Structure 1
Amino acid sequence: MFRKLPLNAIAALTLAFGLISCSGNEQVNSNSGTEENSAVNTSSTATGERPLVVATTSILCDLTKQVAAQTVDLKCLVDAGQDPHTYQPKPDDRKAIEQADLVLYGGYDFEPSIIKLVQASSNQAPKVAVHEVAVPKPILGEEHDHSHSGHKEEKHDGHDHEKEEKHSEEKAPDPHVWHNPQNGVQMVEAIRSNLEKVAPDNAQLYAANAEKVTGEIKEIDSWIKKNVATIPANQRKLVTTHDALTYYTQAYNIDYEGAIEGLSTEVQPTAARIGQLSKEIKQENVPTIFAESTHSPKLIERIAKEANVKVSEEKLYADNLGEQGTDADTYQKMLVANTKAIVDGLGGTYTAFGQ
């Protein structure tokens, strides 16, 4: 898909600078055993060698790997294909956070259980909310309704009911910042600058790798604009499983007609919400709706049936990368895969990246 795969380019850069550490870097994954997603997590304070860097999601892990190459021991917590919103940390995750020389997490409540662990840690090492550093002024989205289902039978006076209504309409920062490639560029810069602080001897390598990665992201950004422009204007309407693609739709002038769930996937939508969205899809003549890689397609298929619309055969990578060996196993490839799915599904003419 790419003229040069990012990891190959990084390997060439690291060889050129002569900074690869070739010993003791057995690749393992604490969650699934996949080679690409994490490394042996021996703390640098114990080994006197490479710093231990913890990255919470596969997106942060991939970008860190592309910038740092083999100069750090990288521990990834949420595996590709898993949902960071609902992920429950393991004992090894807590241990890694306590031993880390640098912790890179998303923030904006993207991975809430892990964020609590990070904030409760006694480790004095830097802990960086990469999404918040990269995008200090985020888009505000609808925070998912906590449903109050446990209070269904209770009586409320008007004051309490008013509080509930306000609660269901609260705005919250949208954590899915990486879907706008320009934000991805800022994420790379945030990662580079913090890696440099814990491993200053590698600053030149990090700068070179970051420049290569951001250059590629900018090329993809331009390519996305050209592909989205081929979608007929009256068909640029996106419906997804949860509210995760606002940064993408705003960047490329696509109408985000709706999502079944809010910013998080922690709470299931009500029957009323499903009915409302089905009605809106019919009214707006949305051509195709999209399932997501980390969620069951049952709800989106139910809506498709009610609205008499098709579900795209290509799922969107909304919260994480694809597993190793898929068409979305790096950040750059994920941007391309999502764009292909959207352009194909909404009636545009897709041209492969690099052609």
Structure 2
Amino acid sequence: MFKNPNFKRSAGLNRLLFTFLLIACLAVVTACGSGKKEAEADSGKIKITTTIGMITDIVGQVGGEHVAVTGLMKAGVDPHLYKASQGDIEKLDQADVIFYNGLHLEGKMVEIFEKMAKKKMTVAVSDYVDHSILRSGAENGMDTEYDPHIWFNVKHWMKATECVRDSLIKYDPEHTEDYKKNADAYLAELEKLDAEVAEQIQTIPDQSRVLVTAHDAFGYFGQAYGIKVMGLQGISTASEAGTKDVTDLRDYLVEHKIKAVFIESSVPRKAIDAVIQGAKEKGHELVIGGELFSDAMGEEGTTEGTYLGMIRHNVKTIVEALK
């Protein structure tokens, strides 16, 4: 029988190749196992999913090292129109705790929160604000019971902070003192901010103290800090401004010689531009006083990407334009 002289060599190479592949596979399995262990180690943190950036910021401030926070709505996102993706549903489903604003801000996600609440802690931070002092949605031409933009009164946002603190303590009593300490420090910052905003707005002359924006998001801001607020659209951006809305606002601005209007980072500026053009045709020059953050904060990693930084940016922009 004929024997291939290279047979032993081929067999040896095959064995060597098999050994190499086995080692490679073991390395991959080991790496995967290492990654799994790291994930398991990280799972010691409470997995929290939030909606708007302002709530994401609170949870990070109060939860500190004990939480891993995932925010669904990033810079420039309008929560009124936001629809949850399949990926968002998965993040909500995987979370230990869910925080959202409530008061119908995340209007297209209400049913999702109701379902989630049946199987895990799902908290509306607005629940801690006395509803008797909230602005009426119905009076502002909307089908919502209340105005949801509570973060524009810093005192209301302090209540939201207390809600997050108490919810985390309830879920994770072992770290109660940490949550209390973190919340106390953040509440002190918010109290300082509240006084700062009031002082700055009062530097605007009375006749110029009129804030005109794309939609009625700043009502609580106006109530708290003594500035007249006018929004071209209603509380929600779900309904578009009509021709009469544009005309009425234009006439008011011309009559009262208001010199600046403001655009919002999460709302298209088309309607505001129509007001500016209409005023120009009436012989009144209106300028864009700047871009304000209303329903969304700035980019992550920036000063405006925090609640404190967002509010300070808005106040500085408003004061410089109207003063």
SS of structure 1 residue aligned to 2:211? strand
Does 2:285 match 1:289? no
Shift in Å, 1:236: 0.6
Q: Which runs of 5+ in 1 are unaligned?
A: 1-22, 25-39, 145-167, 348-355
Shift in Å, 1:271: 1.2
- Residues 171 and 49 (structure 1), Cα distance of their counterparts in 2 relative to 1, 3 Å cut: closer
Q: Quote the residue 2:55 is aligned against.
A: 60
Does 2:221 match 1:225? no
- Residues 92 and 170 (structure 1), Cα distance of their counterparts in 2 relative to 1, 3 Å cut: closer
Shift in Å, 1:172: 2.9
Q: Quote the residue 1:234 is aligned against.
A: 207
> How far apart in 1 are the matches of 2:144 and 2:122?
25
Does 2:181 match 1:208? yes
Task: Map Cα deviations across residues 58-95 of structure 1 (whole Å, 9 max, x no partner).
Answer: 11001110111121221211112211111111112112
Q: Quote the residue 2:112 is aligned against.
A: 117
The structure number with the bigger radius of gyration is 2
Does 2:164 match 1:191? yes
Q: Quote the residue 2:275 is aligned against.
A: 303
> How far apart in 2 are the matches of 1:346 and 1:313?
8
Q: Quote the residue 1:337 is aligned against.
A: 313
Q: TM-score, normalised by structure 1?
A: 0.74
Task: Please tell me whether the aligned partners of residues 241 and 271 of structure 2 are also in contact (alpha carbons under 8 angstroms).
Answer: no
2:240 to 268, 272, 276: 268
2:223 to 227, 238, 250: 250
> How far apart in 2 are the matches of 1:287 and 1:172?
33
> How far apart in 2 are the matches of 1:174 and 1:260?
15
Counterpart residue identity of residue 291, structure 2: K
> How far apart in 2 are the matches of 1:226 and 1:267?
34
Counterpart residue identity of residue 136, structure 2: L
Q: Quote the residue 2:22 is aligned against.
A: none
Q: Quote the residue 2:81 is aligned against.
A: 86
- Residues 197 and 169 (structure 1), Cα distance of their counterparts in 2 relative to 1, 3 Å cut: closer
Shift in Å, 1:116: 2.3
Q: Quote the residue 2:8 is aligned against.
A: none
> How far apart in 1 are the matches of 2:187 and 2:65?
19
Counterpart residue identity of residue 228, structure 1: I
- Residues 310 and 327 (structure 1), Cα distance of their counterparts in 2 relative to 1, 3 Å cut: farther
Shift in Å, 1:330: 0.4
> How far apart in 2 are the matches of 1:57 and 1:127?
15
Shift in Å, 1:50: 2.0
1:96 to 86, 91, 95: 91
Q: TM-score, normalised by structure 2?
A: 0.81
> How far apart in 1 are the matches of 2:43 and 2:183?
26
Does 2:80 match 1:108? no
Q: Quote the residue 1:33 is aligned against.
A: none
- Residues 136 and 330 (structure 1), Cα distance of their counterparts in 2 relative to 1, 3 Å cut: same
Counterpart residue identity of residue 328, structure 1: E
Q: Quote the residue 1:14 is aligned against.
A: none
Task: Please tell me whether the aligned partners of residues 101 and 148 of structure 2 are also in contact (alpha carbons under 8 angstroms).
Answer: yes
> How far apart in 1 are the matches of 2:111 and 2:316?
36
Shift in Å, 1:139: 1.1
Deviates more, 1:118-127 or 1:311-320: 118-127
Shift in Å, 1:270: 1.1
Q: Quote the residue 2:294 is aligned against.
A: 318
> How far apart in 2 are the matches of 1:291 and 1:142?
24
> How far apart in 1 are the matches of 2:75 and 2:142?
31
Shift in Å, 1:170: 5.6
Q: Quote the residue 1:74 is aligned against.
A: 69
Shift in Å, 1:292: 0.4
SS of structure 1 residue aligned to 2:305? coil
Task: Map Cα deviations across residues 117-153 of structure 1 (whole Å, 9 max, x no partner).
Answer: 1113375211111123234331113577xxxxxxxxx
Task: Please tell me whether the aligned partners of residues 289 and 309 of structure 1 are also in contact (alpha carbons under 8 angstroms).
Answer: no
Task: Map Cα deviations across residues 199-228 of structure 1 (whole Å, 9 max, x no partner).
Answer: 111111111111111101111111111111
Task: Please tell me whether the aligned partners of residues 258 and 286 of structure 2 are also in contact (alpha carbons under 8 angstroms).
Answer: no
For these two proteins, the number of residue pairs brought into alignment is 283
Does 2:173 match 1:178? no
Q: Which runs of 5+ in 2 are unaligned?
A: 1-33
SS of structure 2 residue aligned to 1:175? coil
Shift in Å, 1:96: 2.2
- Residues 171 and 93 (structure 1), Cα distance of their counterparts in 2 relative to 1, 3 Å cut: closer
Extract structure 1 runs of 4+ deviating beyond 4 A.
Answer: 168-171
- Residues 202 and 122 (structure 1), Cα distance of their counterparts in 2 relative to 1, 3 Å cut: closer
Counterpart residue identity of residue 205, structure 1: D
More helix by share: 2
- Residues 303 and 260 (structure 1), Cα distance of their counterparts in 2 relative to 1, 3 Å cut: same
